[in-house]
Chains A and B, each alone.
Chain A
Amino acid sequence: MTISGESLKATSQKKSSKNKIFIEIRRDWCKGCGICVAFCPKKVLELDEHEKSSISNPEACTQCGFCELHCPDMAIELILIQEGTK
């Protein structure tokens, strides 16, 4: 997969398992609609000064997947990294 433009990555630790989650936001696809920000139950995301979604509070993420599934621009991906494969 090629990613044009800057992509922000942040990690969040899943408390219940040893798995790591990356939330990847493709800034060049994000149109700043705010859906992910408004509906994230843990207030993990916010719109930055460029009106793009960014991760402000990664630790709080519960990997519920709401943001990933509801982004109209497919700009958010939760990437599960199995411990040991990194």
Chain B
Amino acid sequence: MTKQILFLQGNDVCVEAAIYAGVNFFAGYPITPATEIVERLAEQLPRKGGKFIQMEDEIASMCAIIGASLTGMKSMTATSGPGFSLKQEAIGYAVMAEIPCVIVNVQRGGPSTGMPTCVSQGDVMQARWGTHGDHAIITMTASNHQDVFATTVEAFNLAETYRTPVILLFDEVIGHMRERLIMPEPGEIPLIERLRTSVKEGTDYHPYLPRDDGRLPMSDFGGVHRFNVTGLVHDMWGFPSNNPNIAHGLMRHLVDKIENHVSEIAKVKEYYLDDADGILISYGSPARSARHVVENRRKRGIRLGLLELQTLWPFPAEKVRDLCSKAKYILVVELNMGQIMQEVKKAVEDPGKVFLANKIDGTFISPTDIRNIIRLIQGKGV
């Protein structure tokens, strides 16, 4: 069978992937540059028997997907900066109450209304720390449409595996760029379905008692088990508790279930790293330019490599340290003022050899931009 080849915008690819992953509930509010996701799902979901609702704002959209997910639906929302800010309180709720859901943020320039039609990666730290309180979160990104597809499916898989919100941090260039997509066949990418409890009706069910492997079997809300769900610190039945031991245990569980699985969760792509003197670290659309530079230099025998991050949070610090241990310099290429560069500095042995190639003017970073910075770095004798 020949594979179906589509030519689509990144936003459309994200929708196709979500449908492939089995999304059957979407709530959202239009915002540039994520609107195409909202529109396409409005059209596609009812065809598949799923449900779409345009809510009154992004807060409501986030809350609605949490409610729907609890009842057993694979749920998702999509937005950009201003809407992402509005969702933060409810994202924290999904973290605390351990409700699987996927949040797409097609990044644009900020702060505030910023540059609605321009590219940026300014929300990396907001994805990590946007909601209040200590917590862990999963955030992924992609630099091309094949990866947008795979990453979106993976986001649903991770949300179900770890019972957590997963953030897909795309950017305006990826969202609006048109590119080829080889449509994966059904079954080609494995899907992880929700782990449901085997506890029988009428038996005491503990919605918040993790199994030995840390996973929490769910019971569809409104089904055979009656339980309580709250954003307050809660015991294994989901009832509020002020007990310091319970609070401590819950906080550790919420963070450990993700941070202790960095190696399983976090994905990177490695290009020519084995012998690289200089390593570019990039993600999202800038990784395209970075890769271009690397391929080009390699043709001339220059030992440059690229480490493309596909998972931003939890940050794969150990992997970055190992892969960069022999590099003379590391250049982080991103469209913000160094949000991932700071993480790289924390991760590597010598933060002095970490540099930044960035743009914050709403334009795309070109291979020439990157080459110019490399020249500057080399002028410093590194």
Judged by CB atoms under 8 Å, the answer to whether A and B touch is: no
Question: Using a CB–CB distance below 8 Å, which chain A residues touch chain B?
Answer: none
